[in-house]
Amino acid sequence: MTWIRATYGPLAMATALAVAALIPNPWLAAAACTAVAVALIRPWRHNLGLTGGIRPFLIGLAVPLAGATLLFTLGTLTGWLTWGPIDTPQLLRFLITNTAIAVLLEAFPEELTLRGHTYTTLRHTRPWIAAAVTTALFLTVPALSSVIQWALTLGTHNPTLVPPGEDPVSYLILLTIFGLTLITARNATGSLWTSIGTHLMFLTINRITLYGEDRNAGWSMRLDTPDAILLIPAYLLLTAMIFHLTRHRRIATSCNRPVLQAKTR
- 254 confidence band (pLDDT: 50, 70, 90): low
pLDDT beyond 50 at 264 = no
In this predicted model, what pLDDT tens digit does every residue of 60-111 receive, in sequence order? 999 999 999 999 999 999 999 999 999 999 999 999 999 999 999 999 999 9
pLDDT at 124: 84
Please report, for the chain, the start and end positions of each structural domain, with discontinuous segments joined by +. 2-264
pLDDT, mean over the chain: 92
pLDDT at 260: 46
pLDDT at 6: 93
Q: 125: which residues sit within 8 A by CB, 6+ positions away?
A: 2
Percent of the chain with pLDDT over 90: 82
Length of the chain: 265
Q: pTM of the entire structure?
A: 0.93
Q: Give the helix/strand (H/E) hosting 9.
A: helix 2-21
Q: 260: which residues sit within 8 A by CB, 6+ positions away?
A: none
